[in-house]
Amino acid sequence: MKEAIHPKWFSEAKVTCACGNTWVTGATIAEIRTDICSACHPFYTGEQRIVDTEGQVDRFTKRLQQRAAIRQKAEDRVAARTSPTLSLADLDLAKRYVTLFAENGIEVVGDFMKKLQEGGDEALLEIPGIGRKILADLKKTLRNRGYEIPETE
């Protein structure tokens, strides 16, 4: 066996855990520092404890909260876009058409949808000044905003 190739052995090496627990063991270095030992490890203690030395858990929970907030804002935007109380004036229709619809009791999208479901396109085309072009454009605008428009012929 070669001489002087083995590390020095410390039979009384002191081990210190971050929780404060200390003990003596044999090792190749005189002092050992550790983050977790059998006195504080969740497997041995039965506790559900997360050891987080770099703030990773906090960053993760913040990302989850931000994700939930962004998702809620998106859902609120979609709900606002498809609200039955949305005024027809907010759909960028010509003022003339908004006035014609208002004179016939159709001021919000909900009124338009109700009239469309009750009588189809023909009920809306009976309004003087409303033609197929404006009706098709309005239905297309509503579909683009997320409304479900029933197909009528």
pLDDT digits (tens, 9 = 90+) for 96-109: 888 888 888 888 88
Is residue 93 included in any domain, yes or no? yes
**How are strands ordered across the β-sheet holding 31-34?**
22-27, 10-17, 31-34
| DSSP letter string, 60-108 | HHHHHHHHHHHHHHHHHHHHHHT-TT-BGGGGT--HHHHHHHHHTT--B
For the segment 125-142, the average pLDDT, to the nearest whole number, is 88
Mean pLDDT value across residues 37-66? 81
Instruction: For residues 98 and 69, state if they share a domain.
Output: no
Q: How many CB atoms lie within 10 A of CB 131?
A: 11
Query: Is residue 125 domain-shared with residue 77, that is, in the same domain?
Result: no
pLDDT higher at 94 or 54: 94
* pTM of the full structure: 0.47
In a domain, 18, yes or no: yes
Is residue 35 located within the same domain as residue 16? yes
